Amino acid sequence: MMKQTPPPEAAKIRITRPTEDVLRVMVDRHVDGGAEAYGLELCGIVGHGAGTVYPLLRRLVRAGWLISRLDEDEEREVARPARIYYRLNPDALGTVTCKLAEADDRRRKLASSSLSNPAVRPWEAR
């Protein structure tokens, strides 16, 4: 079996706090049975606005980390545009969990270095 090469967009994904938050929700949902989420729902869960979350979702889909599908339910109770549902791409689970672990390590190192260096703690009175 040939190994698939990740799309070039995958290398360009920066793991910012909003990226981390969205990916953690998607990994949790994947582990809990692969439940999907739509954009506005994710905005509410992660606490970031639509102007942050929707472009991020598009980048994650282009990178192959998420899979999207259009809700084509013709019998919607409320007249609204069709939702786009997102779920974690099972093939990207290893990459995503590795990136999240790297982000955790960076945060831990930053926290320990700032706590050991009084010059980095401006909130403390000298």
pLDDT of residue 80: 75
Q: State pLDDT tens for residues 44-99.
A: 999 999 999 999 999 999 999 999 999 876 566 667 778 899 999 999 999 999 99
pLDDT confidence band for 110 (50 / 70 / 90): confident
Closest CA to 66 of 54, 58, 74: 58
pLDDT at 126 over 70: no
In a domain, residue 118? The reply is no
In a domain, residue 124? The reply is no
In a domain, residue 7? The reply is no
In a domain, residue 3? The reply is no
In a domain, residue 56? The reply is yes
Which residues on neighbouring strands pair with residue 69, listed in sequence order? 85
What distances in angstroms separate CA 97 from CA 63, 92, 108, one per listed residue? 15, 9, 16
The count of domains in the chain is 1
| CATH code of 86's domain | 1.10.10.10
Domain around 95: 13-72+81-111
In a domain, residue 107? The reply is yes
In a domain, residue 30? The reply is yes
CA distance 6 to 34: 21
In a domain, residue 122? The reply is no
pTM over 0.75? The answer is: yes
